[in-house]
Amino acid sequence: MRIPWRRNRRAGKWRGFPATALALVLLLLAAGANAGSGEEPPPYADLTSKPYEYHGRGRDLAEPVDLAAVRIGLFAPTQGPRAPAGLSLRRGAELAVAEANAAGGYRGIPFALIQRSDDQVWGSAREVVEMAYDDGVWAIIGAIGGQSTHVAQQVITKAQLPLISPASTDASLTQINIPWMFRCP
């Protein structure tokens, strides 16, 4: 008869015993850790208890001084079949800016809306570049269609600007995990 935890003289180890004993000890430790607590941790993170901290590029830069307005870019169609949706988007953004300015703006600095058109899909890249670098916007709202939003996404990836797309239903926009691309239709 052979004993499974008998010492193997050639290998210098206990055969079968260490793995079985280790598994049993880990099982008992896991059961003991949960038995004494009485309360399980929540299966979610409470994001309201501690504010989110940004750990990306530019976090050590100082805020601009002598700022006349915080510029927000609006990227929406103005002509063609998508013009009514663009008008709706513009009116919503204007209302949000008016409410934010009535509440004091950003630390006393008013918000300003800079509008550019996304009527031409490939011409829209130039519009987003102008908003990002010439107009100096802090964020961009818009693009109705997925094609225009993908073009804008290529620019904001390089410029590292937040792009909030409130109307595009193209799920592939957020699947590549650009940290400053938001889609909320």
pLDDT, tens digit (0-9, with 9 covering 90-100), for 111-152 = 999 998 877 766 677 888 888 899 889 988 877 767 777 788
Interval 88-108 mean pLDDT: 92
> Measuring CA to CA, how many Å separate 31 from each of 18, 25, 36, 38?
20, 10, 9, 12
What average pLDDT does this structure show over 62-66? Answer: 80
Confidence (pTM): 0.65
Residues 6+ apart with CB under 8 A from 88: none
**Cβ-defined contacts of 175-183 (< 8 Å, 24+):** 178/153, 179/56, 180/156, 181/153, 181/156, 181/157, 183/149
For position 33, what pLDDT does the model report?
55
Inform me whether the pLDDT recorded for 109 exceeds 70. yes
| 182 has pLDDT over 60 | yes
Give 173's DSSP letter. G
Share of the chain above pLDDT 90, in %: 15
What pLDDT does 46 receive?
73
| 14-24 pLDDT, tens digit each | 555 566 666 76
Q: Read off the tokens for 141.
A: 């709202």
Q: Which helix (H) or strand (E) holds 86?
A: helix 83-102
CA dist 142 and 93 (Å) reads 9
**Does residue 146 or residue 71 have the better pLDDT?**
71
